[in-house]
Amino acid sequence: MKVGNSGVKVLLVVASKHGSTLEIAQALAGELQKSGLEVDLRELQ
């Protein structure tokens, strides 16, 4: 899916006790960015 410059923004919030879920979220954010979306990845403390 190529979104291009549509102005679509994604907020991806993750909580990870040992880091594995954070790694998955980072990979997902990277793929979303490649498809042209603006991604804001935030980790809950």
Q: Indicate the domain borders of the chain.
A: 9-43
pLDDT at 1: 46
pLDDT at 5: 59
- Whole-model pTM over 0.85: no
Q: How many other CB atoms are there within 10 angstroms of residue 31's CB atom?
A: 11
The sign of the torsion formed by the CA atoms of 24, 27, 31, 36 equals positive
Q: What is the pLDDT of residues 1-45, one digit of tens each?
A: 455 556 889 999 999 999 999 999 999 999 999 999 999 999 998
pLDDT at 45: 85
